[in-house]
Amino acid sequence: ALILGIESSCDETAAAVIDGNGTTLAARIVAQRIASQDEAHRPYGGVVPEIAARAHVEVLGPMVEAVLADAGMTLDDVDAIAATAGPGLIGGVMVGLVTAKALAMAADKPLVAVNHLEGHALSPRLADPSLQYPYLLLLVSGGHCQILEVAGVGQYRRLATTIDDALGEAFDKTAKILGLGYPGGPAVERLAREGNPKAVPLPRPLVGSGEPHFSFAGLKSAVMRAKDAQRTFLRQAQDERSEANPETQNPARPEPVEGRQPYSDADIAASFQQAALDCVIDRTRIALATAAPGMTALVVAGGVAANAALRGALEALAAEHGLPLVAPPPKLCTDNAAMIGWAGAERFALGYTDPLDVAARPRWPLDDNAAPVRGAGV
């Protein structure tokens, strides 16, 4: 089936045409477009819901027309329209969902209301046609950090979640502390490549605990203290230097003072990333040990799955357990409409469609997703 997919739950506006019968990734994504609002939110250091919703309104209509044109199609050619119905920023979700409802009504096509997390959860099947259910999924995004058994469409059993921050949130906060701007994950990863992951001692919250849950708030606080300690060190070093030699400028790379070893922002980034990854690997190892038998693969999805260091570490962990690691290409890890269209295609193939009064849901746990969506009007 041909599905038009729409995504607008956060700060990317995206539309895609998916061929659910395609046997390769290239054949499955007939066309896709994505507009990031990074520039609009950058001055605020994070997503501003009102700005996001307004930007979705401006961009989405023309984008749907454009992506259909890219695909060489009209709305009449698609079999169903799939849109994110939550969870996410409610204003943005409503823009996408209402647009999808209007298109469905105008063209007399079925609507598929997609859980954004299901989009992430099934994106590895879009990318790798050989991936079979059931698989163990590490879902690491800006708002979520969970481990789930995925037994089929709508069949999720959650083994673990975070008790405070999501992993992507921890990357974003670290980026903010280091002045790297928004969005932070890719910037932290880039800077971490130049640093020493052992330079700054940081905690590994919950490592060793018997249940595979996550916690990142303590790690973030430790990063903040490390940055403060670095500032203090640099100030003292500067004072001592200018007393010795008033000509000395602010050095780009801090130098040791009387045997006290300084560390750079790159060292903080690398040490943070290492600590976070150590947590994720330890927690995922526990989940692999406690998961139901028969998992065909270890799978990672969500924005943080774009992180190369994480992918490498998970690859080794999966190999330890004799499992393949399946990770979508980085561009399908962060928010996009291809994954929403694909989840729509999987649902549509099973006969799951939704009424035009289906509600947008700001909160919507994935393991509460067994049945097709039902609800009152948006």
Residue ranges for the known binding site for substrate are: 139-143, 172, 185, 189, 307
Q: Between residue 1 and residue 20, which ones bind Mg ion under the rule CB under 5 A?
A: 11-12
Q: List the x/- string, 34-73, binding to ligand ATP by CB under 6 A.
A: ----------------------------------------
Distance CA 345, CA 157 (A): 22
Cβ at position 261, least distance to ligand ATP in Å: 27
For residue 339, what are its two tokens? 């994954």
Would you list the DSSP string of 124-176? HHHH-TT--SSEEEEEE-SS-EEEEEEEETTEEEEEE-BSS--HHHHHHHHHH
Give least dist CB 241 to ligand ATP, A. 36
The structure tokens 């065909």 sit at 296
Footprint of Fe ion on 301-330 (CB under 5 A): none
The sign of the torsion formed by the CA atoms of 305, 310, 316, 321 equals negative
Select the residue whose beta carbon is closest to Mg ion and give its number: 11
Q: Say whether residue 184 binds ligand ATP (CB under 6 A).
A: yes
| Residues 109 to 138 in contact with ligand ATP, rule: CB under 6 A | 116, 120
How many residues bind to Mg ion according to rule CB under 5 A?
2
Q: How many Cβ atoms are within 10 Å of 247's Cβ, its own excluded?
A: 7
In order of 75, 94, 200, the CA distances from 6 in angstroms are 13, 11, 43
- Per CB under 6 A, 334 contacts ligand ATP: yes
Interface residue with ligand ATP among 6, 10, 268, 279 (CB under 6 A) is 10
Residue with Cβ nearer Mg ion (11 or 282)? 11
On the 0-12 / 13-18 / 19+ scale of CB atoms within 10 A, 30 is buried
Residue closer to Mg ion by CB (options 142, 254) is: 142
Euclidean distance between CA atoms 247 and 311, whole angstroms: 47
For ligand ATP, the closer of residues 254 and 341 by Cβ is: 341
Task: Single out the residue of 124, 302, 341, 344 in contact with ligand ATP (rule: CB under 6 A).
Answer: 302
Instruction: Among 84, 99, 123, 141, indicate the residue that binds Fe ion (CB under 5 A).
Output: 141
CA distance 87 to 74: 29
Q: Is the dihedral of CA 158, 164, 170, 173 positive or negative?
A: positive
Q: Of 124, 212, 303, 344, which lies in the binding site for ligand ATP, with binding defined by CB under 6 A? A: 303
- Binder to Fe ion among 189, 282, 335, 354 (CB under 5 A)? 335
**CA separation for the pair 290, 375 (Å, rounded):** 35
| Contact set with ligand ATP (CB under 6 A) | 10, 88, 116, 120, 141-144, 168, 171-172, 183-186, 189, 302-304, 306-307, 334-335
